[in-house]
């Protein structure tokens, strides 16, 4: 058995009663191989073994899943519905075994069958349901809601293809379809009995009572697929429901009989395109019709489902009973993850008024008290503003409702601020400047009882700048909910040796209360403990070195500093600034090959949106620099550059535990929070970063002597731009920077095509919106300091320990507890369920 298997077995066995035994697991595995997959060991492939294993593990979920839903039905607690266009789940198999506490048993069973569990885990496709922090946060939230016993449902879309599979060809990003469902998904269960109609287009007419009626619509059906979300060893299993678009069942037989086979299926294909592909979230709102269709499709199906559940839980099937919708907010909390589902505010109003017959005022009170809105961006170009022409054509009734919401809202603003017409213009949901548009962030704020940011700095800037008018008008409506990560996936699962070491020192309580990690600080003079930290990091670094050699044929020095910058490619995240540091190091080595330098392996990873020209140019620059650096014999193993292709959750689980240095270098005031910074911190990497997003709170938790902070603060950035920022002023004053810009401009790294990266050089010269040149000198000085500290191993290791020990605040368990008590009105950890093999009598017998 491998070392990894030994370690994972230890962490699973610790004090946990193993009810499922090895013999039963083997029996179930063979049963699924024979009866579910119709294979035997003579013809089965590794993928067959994976599916047999997944089905075996799912068997242990099903009874818990059913019992959880039965409990919710019988006790009718208040439920949370988390709406997000992305759920970046990653792989499910290992996380499920960990949550159920059966990892060691399954490991041993497969070993006895002659199979390697790690090889089978690698076969699982990452679920193509997200890309980046917004979707990964949603996935971590689902884990914590189940672990905290919060009755919750995630709602999203079942994309047939993920955003795309990223290939690097000749240094350029190339996109290929991410056909993640081609072999099927063992975790989902189709629910055709709950398929629901969703209407588009049509027109609005008035009936004899002057009530609006939405008629002549085009109908698309929403088919739900449910995925179980287990809590950590508490027998609670919540649900993620994903909708897939299906055409109406009728077939255009006339076209078919006439020989026009293509037209016969054309409409069906166009209809089902709604959930075909995940749109890239590139922080530039593009106003695509398909995106609006996806957003409305999600909320229309979800709200029908929520109302159905509300009625059935409270009133059973007695349709004759008069439904008291005034109690709706007492039983339903809907959280919208960014503005994408905000059209749901107009949709709930439509359902309550047009379908349920409520007055506007009653419907509005219910809607506001039901919805909460989480904002994820300060960038103005990322805020959704739908053209009235598009919205009115696709959703005419909703546009009518939005106009009415806006008029009543502006009437209230006018009463509070008489004759302040500029304020009315700024706060209007309907923007009149240029093409008339609907500001969806304004709709979300007006239609929710709470708006929250996702880090203290972000929330402050929302109140002081982006939504200042609304914060003044709605005192007390804005809150902060600093993001987090789930410690189960991002420590127990991806770094079990470190988890095991921590448990050996402070016990297991940290797993469900990450604040307990603070107890580790008393070991900062324990040399054995610090040596163990270094040994664990070294083992992960060796594995990553093997991975990079195998995947990219690049030999890296495992004793070098692993300097990691992995996240979506966007200019505000400043991968370009890091690339300038790489070139700086290269130029220094070339200028003086004998100079002592701390060896570094600098890793980049992340996808650029397909239409994002500058982000793709930056990827090409990084790879062009890597080609020069990695093949220069003078440089040797002092510096290596690796671009990790198709970065995703499963790769993050490999890279994060091996990182020494985490790059969190966005321009101050642009990153809402970040969660990658928290993952690296929890795994003992040190952060170099700006005072932006959650970096601010990380620095507060660990102290400035345990983090490498550089660059301008928010106020400095604002002052710089107010004075009229000219990057050439900074380039001319710094010889190293001037040399780098000239190298890029003249094609030093692309000698076969000297003009290839002129757009990057031009951006640095004239359009440096995110102040790369202004922060360059501070960044380089701080990187030099990082190198010096890295040489001082005792100091570095103590800083690593203090990073881990200060991570307690950044658990989604804490974040979700705050949401529950301060927004949703729910008490965490109230629900306790027995395991399915225990009965009340068995409990009494134990006592």
Other Cβ atoms closer than 10 A to 200? 19
Kindly state whether residues 225 and 323 are assigned to the same domain.
yes
Average pLDDT across the chain, whole number: 93
The reply to whether 844 falls in a domain is no
Kindly state whether residues 246 and 161 are assigned to the same domain.
yes
Q: Backbone phi, then psi, for 205, in 5-degree steps?
A: -125, 165
The reply to whether 504 falls in a domain is yes
Q: pLDDT tens digit string along 80-113?
A: 999 999 999 999 999 999 999 999 999 999 999 9
Distance between CA atoms of residues 38 and 33, nearest Å: 6
Strands (E), 84-151: none
Predicted confidence (pLDDT) at residue 200 exceeds the cutoff of 50: yes
State the pLDDT confidence band at 11, using cuts at 50, 70 and 90: very low
Distance between CA atoms of residues 279 and 287, nearest Å: 11
In the chain, % helix, strand, coil (3-state, to 5) comes to 55, 15, 30
What kind and span of H or E run contains 653?
helix 649-655
Task: Kindly tell me the burial class for residue 812, based on how many C-beta atoms sit within 10 Å of its own C-beta (0-12, 13-18, 19 or more).
Answer: buried
Q: pLDDT tens digit string along 657-691?
A: 999 999 999 999 999 999 999 999 999 999 999 99
What kind and span of H or E run contains 461?
helix 456-461
Predicted confidence (pLDDT) at residue 21 exceeds the cutoff of 80: yes
- Integer CA distances (angstroms), 636 to 556, 590, 622, 745, in order: 10, 11, 18, 26
Residues 6+ apart with CB under 8 A from 545: 555, 556, 557, 558
Span 131-156, average pLDDT = 96
Closest among 129, 29, 142 to 82, alpha carbons compared: 142
Angle at which helices 396-416 and 343-350 cross, to 10° = 100
Q: CA torsion sign, 422 to 425 to 426 to 428?
A: positive
Strand order in the sheet with 708-709: 639-644, 600-605, 561-566, 661-664, 686-689, 708-709
What kind and span of H or E run contains 333?
strand 332-337
Q: pLDDT tens digit string along 469-519?
A: 999 999 999 999 999 999 999 999 999 999 999 999 999 999 999 999 999
Q: CA torsion sign, 559 to 117 to 88 to 100?
A: negative
Q: Backbone phi, then psi, for 247, in 5-degree steps?
A: -75, 165
Domain count for the chain, please give it.
Answer: 3
State the pLDDT confidence band at 835, using cuts at 50, 70 and 90: confident
Q: pLDDT tens digit string along 599-649?
A: 999 999 999 999 899 999 999 999 999 999 999 999 999 999 999 999 999
Closest among 690, 670, 683 to 533, alpha carbons compared: 683
Closest among 579, 593, 582 to 635, alpha carbons compared: 593
Give pLDDT, residue 237: 98
Kindly state whether residues 513 and 502 are assigned to the same domain.
yes
Predicted confidence (pLDDT) at residue 304 exceeds the cutoff of 60: yes
Inter-residue contact 688 to 663 (CB < 8 Å) = yes
> Within a 13 Å sphere around the CA of 134, how many CA atoms are in the beta-carbon half?
25
Predicted confidence (pLDDT) at residue 16 exceeds the cutoff of 80: no
Give pLDDT, residue 838: 57
Kindly state whether residues 100 and 229 are assigned to the same domain.
no
Q: pLDDT tens digit string along 804-834?
A: 999 999 999 999 999 999 999 999 998 989 8
Kindly state whether residues 257 and 164 are assigned to the same domain.
yes
Which of the residue ranges 274-283, 296-305, 662-671 would you say has the lowest mean pLDDT?
274-283
Q: Backbone phi, then psi, for 686, in 5-degree steps?
A: -90, 150
State the pLDDT confidence band at 267, using cuts at 50, 70 and 90: low
Strands (E), 585-733: 600-605, 639-644, 661-664, 686-689, 708-709
- Tokens representing residue 393 in the block: 């054509």
CATH for 373: 3.40.50.2000
- Integer CA distances (angstroms), 151 to 62, 68, 142, 238, 521, in order: 17, 9, 10, 7, 35
Kindly state whether residues 470 and 533 are assigned to the same domain.
no
Distance between CA atoms of residues 377 and 698, nearest Å: 19
The reply to whether 689 falls in a domain is yes
Give pLDDT, residue 254: 60
Three-state SS at 515: helix
> Within a 13 Å sphere around the CA of 295, how many CA atoms are in the beta-carbon half?
25
Closest among 220, 409, 194 to 296, alpha carbons compared: 220
The reply to whether 841 falls in a domain is no
Residues 6+ apart with CB under 8 A from 724: none
Maximum CA extent, the chain: 90
Q: pLDDT tens digit string along 29-40?
A: 999 999 999 999
The reply to whether 820 falls in a domain is no
Closest among 195, 301, 304, 295 to 248, alpha carbons compared: 195
Kindly state whether residues 233 and 297 are assigned to the same domain.
yes
Span 782-799, average pLDDT = 98
- Tokens representing residue 60 in the block: 């242990």
Inter-residue contact 281 to 606 (CB < 8 Å) = no
Q: What percent of the chain has pLDDT over 90?
A: 87
Span 427-442, average pLDDT = 96
The reply to whether 28 falls in a domain is yes
Kindly state whether residues 497 and 578 are assigned to the same domain.
yes
Residues 6+ apart with CB under 8 A from 550: none
In which residue are the tokens 């002549």 written? 216
Other Cβ atoms closer than 10 A to 781? 11
Three-state SS at 811: strand
Q: Backbone phi, then psi, for 165, in 5-degree steps?
A: -90, 125
Distance between CA atoms of residues 709 and 693, nearest Å: 13
Distance between CA atoms of residues 52 and 218, nearest Å: 41
- Tokens representing residue 294 in the block: 């996806």
Three-state SS at 448: coil
Kindly state whether residues 387 and 509 are assigned to the same domain.
no
Three-state SS at 341: coil
What kind and span of H or E run contains 241?
strand 237-246
Cα dihedral 500/502/507/511 (nearest 10): -80
Terminal C-alpha separation, the chain: 39
Q: Domain boundary at 466, 483, 500, which?
A: 483
Residues 6+ apart with CB under 8 A from 329: 366, 369, 370
State the pLDDT confidence band at 544, using cuts at 50, 70 and 90: very high
Q: Domain boundary at 460, 483, 506, which?
A: 483
Distance between CA atoms of residues 577 and 755, nearest Å: 20
Closest among 560, 624, 597 to 757, alpha carbons compared: 624
Three-state SS at 684: coil
Three-state SS at 375: coil
Q: pLDDT tens digit string along 323-341?
A: 899 999 999 999 999 999 9
Distance between CA atoms of residues 194 and 191, nearest Å: 6
Q: Domain boundary at 451, 483, 515, which?
A: 483
Give pLDDT, residue 271: 83
The reply to whether 464 falls in a domain is yes
Predicted confidence (pLDDT) at residue 12 exceeds the cutoff of 70: no
Kindly state whether residues 795 and 706 are assigned to the same domain.
yes
Kindly state whether residues 491 and 476 are assigned to the same domain.
no
**271 φ/ψ sector (left φ>0, alpha ψ -120 to 50, else beta):** alpha
Q: CA torsion sign, 484 to 488 to 490 to 491?
A: positive
Q: State the alpha helices, DSSP H only, in 198-288.
A: 253-257, 261-272
Kindly state whether residues 356 and 439 are assigned to the same domain.
yes
Residue span of the structural domain in which 588 resides = 487-810
Q: Which are the catalytic amino acids?
A: 376, 567-568, 573, 675, 679
- Tokens representing residue 622 in the block: 């990084």
Closest among 417, 415, 418, 413 to 428, alpha carbons compared: 413
The reply to whether 358 falls in a domain is yes
Predicted confidence (pLDDT) at residue 189 exceeds the cutoff of 60: yes
Q: State the alpha helices, DSSP H only, in 724-771.
A: 727-733, 735-746, 758-766
Residues 6+ apart with CB under 8 A from 180: 125, 126, 127, 128, 161, 162
In which residue are the tokens 């598009």 written? 390
Three-state SS at 141: helix
Give pLDDT, residue 160: 95
Give pLDDT, residue 578: 98
State the pLDDT confidence band at 132, using cuts at 50, 70 and 90: confident
Closest among 701, 682, 676, 697 to 482, alpha carbons compared: 697
Distance between CA atoms of residues 813 and 819, nearest Å: 10
Of the segments 265-274, 321-330, 446-455, which one has the largest average pLDDT value? 446-455
């Amino acid at each position: 058995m491998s070392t990894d298997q030994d370690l994972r077995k230890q962490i699973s066995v610790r004090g946990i009663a193993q009810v499922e035994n090895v013999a039963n697991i083997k029996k179930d595995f063979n049963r699924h191989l024979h009866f579910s997959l119709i294979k035997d060991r003579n013809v089965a492939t590794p993928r067959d073994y994976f599916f047999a294993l997944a089905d075996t593990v799912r068997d242990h979920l099903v009874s818990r899943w059913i019992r959880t839903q039965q409990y919710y039905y019988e006790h009718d607690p208040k439920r949370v519905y988390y709406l997000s266009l992305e759920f970046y789940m990653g792989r499910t198999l290992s996380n499920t075994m960990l949550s159920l506490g059966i990892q060691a048993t399954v490991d041993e069973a497969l070993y006895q069958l002659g199979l390697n569990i790690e090889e089978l885990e690698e076969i699982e496709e990452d679920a193509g349901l997200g890309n980046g922090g917004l979707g990964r946060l949603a996935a971590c939230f689902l884990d914590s809601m189940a672990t905290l016993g919060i009755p919750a449902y995630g709602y999203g879309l079942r994309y047939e293809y993920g955003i795309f599979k990223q290939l690097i060809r000749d240094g350029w990003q190339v996109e290929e379809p991410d056909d993640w469902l081609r072999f099927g998904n063992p975790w989902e269960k189709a629910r055709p009995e709950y398929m629901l109609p969703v209407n588009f287009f049509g027109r609005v007419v008035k009936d004899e009572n002057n009530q609006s009626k939405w008629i002549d619509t085009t109908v698309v059906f929403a088919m739900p697929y449910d995925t179980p979300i287990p809590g950590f060893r508490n027998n609670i299993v919540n649900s993620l429901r994903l909708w897939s678009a299906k055409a109406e069942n009728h077939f255009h037989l006339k076209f078919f009989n006439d020989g026009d086979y293509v037209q016969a299926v054309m409409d069906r294909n166009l209809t089902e395109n709604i959930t075909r592909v995940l749109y890239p979230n590139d922080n530039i709102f593009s106003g695509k019709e398909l995106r609006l269709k996806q957003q409305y499709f999600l909320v229309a199906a979800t709200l029908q489902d929520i109302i159905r559940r509300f009625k059935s839980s409270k009133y059973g099937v007695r349709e004759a009973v008069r439904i008291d919708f005034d109690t709706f907010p007492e039983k339903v909390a809907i959280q919208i993850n960014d503005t994408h589902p905000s059209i749901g505010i107009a949709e709930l109003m439509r359902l309550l008024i047009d379908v349920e017959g409520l007055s506007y005022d009653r419907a509005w009170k219910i809607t506001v008290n039901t919805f909460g809105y989480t904002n994820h961006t300060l960038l103005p170009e990322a805020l959704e503003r739908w053209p009235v022409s598009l919205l009115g054509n696709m959703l005419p009734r909703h546009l009518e409702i939005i106009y009415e919401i806006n008029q009543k809202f502006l009437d209230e603003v006018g009463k509070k601020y008489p004759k302040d017409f500029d304020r009315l213009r700024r706060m209007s949901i309907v923007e009149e400047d240029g093409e008339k548009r609907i500001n969806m962030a304004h709709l979300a704020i007006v239609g929710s009882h709470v708006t929250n940011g996702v880090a203290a700095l972000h929330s402050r800037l929302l109140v002081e700048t982006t939504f200042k008018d609304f914060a003044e008008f709605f005192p007390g409506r804005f809150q902060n909910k600093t993001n987090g990560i789930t410690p189960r996936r991002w420590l127990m699962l991806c770094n079990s040796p470190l988890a095991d070491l921590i448990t050996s020192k402070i016990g297991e309580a940290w797993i469900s209360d990450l604040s307990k990690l603070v107890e580790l600080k008393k070991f900062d003079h324990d040399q054995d403990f610090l040596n163990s930290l270094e040994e664990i990091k070294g083992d992960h670094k060796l594995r990553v070195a093997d991975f990079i050699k195998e995947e990219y044929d690049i030999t890296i020095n495992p004793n070098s500093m692993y300097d990691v910058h992995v996240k979506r490619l966007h200019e505000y995240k400043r991968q370009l600034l890091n690339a300038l540091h790489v070139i700086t190091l290269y130029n220094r080595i070339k200028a003086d090959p004998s100079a002592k330098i701390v060896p570094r392996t600098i890793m980049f990873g992340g996808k650029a949106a397909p239409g994002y020209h500058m982000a793709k140019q930056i990827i090409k620059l990084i790879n062009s620099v890597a080609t020069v650096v990695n093949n220069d014999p003078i440089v040797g193993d002092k510096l290596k550059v690796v671009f990790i292709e198709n970065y995703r959750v499963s790769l993050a689980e490999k890279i994060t535990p091996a990182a020494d240095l985490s790059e969190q270098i966005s321009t101050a005031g642009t990153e809402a929070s970040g969660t990658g910074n928290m993952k690296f911190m929890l795994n003992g990497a040190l952060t170099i970063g700006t005072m932006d997003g959650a970096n601010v709170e990380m620095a507060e938790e660990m102290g400035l002597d345990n983090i490498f902070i550089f660059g301008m603060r928010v106020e400095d950035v604002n002052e710089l731009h107010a004075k009229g920022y000219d990057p050439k002023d900074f380039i001319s004053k710094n010889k190293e920077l001037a040399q780098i810009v000239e190298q890029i401009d003249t094609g030093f790294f692309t000698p076969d095509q000297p003009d290839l990266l002129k757009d990057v050089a031009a951006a640095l010269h004239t359009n440096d919106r995110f102040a790369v040149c202004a922060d360059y000198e501070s960044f380089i000085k701080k990187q030099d300091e990082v190198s010096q500290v890295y040489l001082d191993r005792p100091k570095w290791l103590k800083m690593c320990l203090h990073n881990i020990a200060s991570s307690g605040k950044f658990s989604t368990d804490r974040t979700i507890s705050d949401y529950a008590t301060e927004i949703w009105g729910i008490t965490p950890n109230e629900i306790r369920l027995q395991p399915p093999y225990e009965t009340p009598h068995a409990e009494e017998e134990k006592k």
